[in-house]
Chains A and B, each alone.
Chain A
Amino acid sequence: MESTAHAFKDNARAAVADPQLKRALAHVKTGFIGKRAKAVARLPEFEALRDAARDIKDHTLDHLDLYLERYEARVAATGGQVHWCADGAAARAAVLEICQRAGAKTVTKGKSMIAEEIALNEHLEANGITPVETDLGEYIIQLRHEPPSHIIAPAVHLTKDLIEADFRARHMDLPPGRSLEEPRELVDEARQVLRRRFLEADVGITGANFLIAETGSSVIVTNEGNGDLTQVLPRVHIVVASLEKVVPTLEDVSTILRVLARSATGQEFSTYTTISTGPRRPEDPDGPDEYHVILLDNGRSAMLGNEFRDVLRCIRCGACMNHCPVYHAIGGHAYGWVYPGPIGAVLTPALIGIEEAGNLPNASTFCGRCEAVCPMRIPLPRMMRHWREREFERHLTPAAARGGLRLWAFLARRPALYGLATRLAIGALGWAGRRAGRFRSLPLAGGWTRHRDLPAPEGRTFRDAWAARDRGGAS
């Protein structure tokens, strides 16, 4: 998708002022956080599982080329085919070629963030193939021509009255007088409409939560069953996955699955976890005749060697955004690209460039909740700090901020001068604000005073107060 990450500040300002969005986002705070906490409390081994899950991914990343070699060999041995793709364009072309060879008119899709990353739907449409999103949330946003606003709950920014209006506008063959007020009725209608699409699709495209080196399998984790209908009914099954999804064994995937659903939705286990290996066997009564894996790099191999390597452990559970105060306030669209929230703030600059996405790592209070809940123990705040450093080094920070920092650095290296300057400034501010005790507005501090008052200093600087305390005087 086209990025608007460069316009993050404007996006965020508009999002904060949107009352409908605020109503919808309230469900994130009340729903996900409590459910996760409850699920974690029920499993005494949870913290040990997080350590084990992190170690599995670290080990795999340390040997990524070797595991991918073994994975590819197993896929080939079971009759499937791996397509290596360096970037989004190559991946789109590979998918299109398979679809065209299959003579595909419609393609059903399970939820896939990689498909969003490579803007697959637009490419298929431009080439005369109709992609149909089948995950309910993805289906809703496809009707609205919107990108997902959350990596596991793509329509979390919408309230049900908006969804009702979309269904009425798009499902024109259904009776106009039908009731659609209850979520139940909306789900039933989507089920009915999409069932026909499942049955007529020529190709099914899913993502993969994991790839397994031991067996050459791909794994999808869903609750609706749409991913399974997508991959079992059509003649061709295409998996789009990025290369860091590989894990060594069935045991390793079992360990990580124990932390995935609990972190994501607070479920003990998702309804459907499906392990797929190759195309249908000659003796199988159903399943696809062809099985393809689009294995996407798109910048990840470069991350393997730099300070953002740990983010490749991510299993896309969404816990970081579910717990992020910034995400709670602005939702996912404001981040301007595929991955929102703390994971997006770290991943997006790596995938589309710090020039485009430099604002995202700044959208953090560094409260640390994302790292505290990340099942893979990814140090997200530290990585945002790395991006801020890079942004500064590459002179992408605004001139005013750079000037301010330079002035501060100049003073901080000269303690006597620093003491004098702060004493003068504090004294002047204290004198100017002596009456009201606070400032409603202040030159150079508009960013602060636009939303709240600045309390006036009450006298001495901290250093002076501290020195006085050391001398035994009153502080």
Chain B
Amino acid sequence: MSDARDRIMDRLQRARARRGADDAAAHAAVDGRLAARTRGPIPARAQLDPAAQVDLFVAMAEEQAATVTRVAGSDDVPAAVAAYLKAHNLPPRLRIAPDAAIEALPWAAQPLLSVAAGRAEADDEVSLTGAFAGIAETGTLMLHSGPAGPTTLNFLPETHMVVLRADQVVGAYEDAWDRTRAAARAAGREGALPRTVNFITGPSRTADIEQTIQLGAHGPRRLHIVLVEDGAGDGS
């Protein structure tokens, strides 16, 4: 195995040497680029003011067949969730992320909802998670895995509901990466990513049969976003 590595590396190094690049300069160029994290062209539509950015996020997410309910505060989330389940004839059973902010929502005010926290099991029909960010340019959610974010919740259940605060909406993917790096730094894990970062734009789909788009191929058939407008707080 390491033989193969040496042989491949040797060929790659010779290819670089033939191009006549100075070795020290090449190392400096690579280290410089990895440190600078220079952005490419950022679309103008990803550089709007915050309110317009939230509106664009909603419009783009809906265009990709996600649905969005906007609520005034986080206390309104359980009622919005219950109303959505009822409107879609879905069972009033939720698997929620083991996330302090989600668990602390006033679920007791919805006595008909049964709520359990944890990773998704095969027979869970509806999940509810938080999100790390919403990205306006394409209506995309960014979710991080971790103790508060089991990845299975994002893919196994037929219906995935996501609570997103308005202040989590950013313009561009790069803005979400900046926040990701800042969060890692704040947690003392400079430079580390969660095991899984999911960008999610609308529900699962396929066009593999005669190019006709069908929702709900293997992942969720429905993606519902509850957008909390008063998102300036800590989410609880």
- A residues with CB within 8 A of B: 24, 27-28, 30-32, 43-45, 48-49, 52-53, 56, 59, 62-70, 78, 83-86, 90, 94, 134-137, 140, 153-156, 159-160, 163, 183-184, 186-188, 190-191, 194-195, 198-199, 213-215, 217, 223-226, 228-229, 232-233, 243, 248-252, 254-255, 257-258, 265, 267-281, 283-287, 297, 301-302, 304-305
Contact = CB atoms under 8 A, between A and B. Distances in A.
A277 B195 contact: yes
Contacts of A287: 145, 151, 195-196
Contact of A68 (B12, B139, B145, B150): B12
Contact of B214 (A24, A184, A269): A184
B217 interface: yes
A224 B212 CA distance: 13
Contacts of A160: 209-210
13 contacts: A63-B16, A68-B12, A69-B9, A86-B7, A160-B209, A183-B209, A228-B198, A250-B177, A251-B40, A254-B177, A271-B202, A275-B193, A285-B147
Contact of A191 (B195, B209, B216): B216
Interface of B: 1-2, 4-5, 7-9, 11-16, 18-19, 21, 26-27, 29-30, 33-34, 37-44, 60, 63-64, 98, 118-120, 122, 138-140, 145-147, 150-152, 154-156, 172-174, 177, 191-212, 214, 216-220
B119 A153 contact: no
Contacts of A277: 192-197
Contacts of A187: 206, 209, 214, 216-217
Contacts of A270: 201
Nearest to A86: B4
B194 A251 contact: no
A243 B12 CA distance: 10
Contact of A66 (B27, B43, B44, B152): B27
B147 A63 contact: no
A255 B18 CA distance: 29
B42 to A, nearest CB: 8
Given A272-B219, A301-B12, A70 B41 contact: no
B210 A159 contact: yes
Given A271-B203, A274-B197, A297-B8, A156 B41 contact: no
Given A43-B43, A136-B209, A304-B15, A215 B193 contact: yes
A255 B40 contact: yes
B213 to A, nearest CB: 9
A96 B98 CA distance: 36
Nearest to A72: B5
Given A63-B16, A160-B210, A187-B214, 6 more contacts: A44-B44, A223-B217, A248-B34, A249-B38, A267-B64, A275-B196
A135 to B, nearest CB: 7
B43 A224 contact: no
Contacts of B4: 84-86, 90, 297
Give the residue among B2, B11, B34, B218 with the most A Cβ atoms within 10 A. B218
Given A275-B193, A304-B15, A155 B26 contact: no
A272 B12 CA distance: 33
Contacts, number: 265
A224 B12 CA distance: 36
A154 B174 CA distance: 32
A27 B34 contact: no
Contacts of A233: 152
Contacts of A248: 30, 33-34
A269 B77 CA distance: 28
Contacts of A136: 206, 208-209, 217-218
Contact of B21 (A56, A62, A274): A62
Given A31-B211, A136-B209, A285 B194 contact: no
Nearest to B135: A269
Contacts of B37: 214, 249-251
Give the residue among A140, A224, A285 with the most B Cβ atoms within 10 A. A285
Contacts of A269: 64, 138, 140, 199, 201
Contact of A194 (B16, B193, B203, B218): B218
A271 B201 contact: yes
B234 to A, nearest CB: 21
A24 B219 contact: no
Q: Identify the 8 closest CB pairs spanning chains A and B, nearest first.
A: A225-B219, A255-B40, A224-B217, A137-B208, A65-B12, A84-B5, A301-B11, A269-B138
Nearest to A280: B195
B204 A224 contact: yes
Contact of B13 (A27, A65, A140, A225): A65
Contacts of B208: 135-137, 140, 153-155
Contacts of B151: 228, 232, 286-287
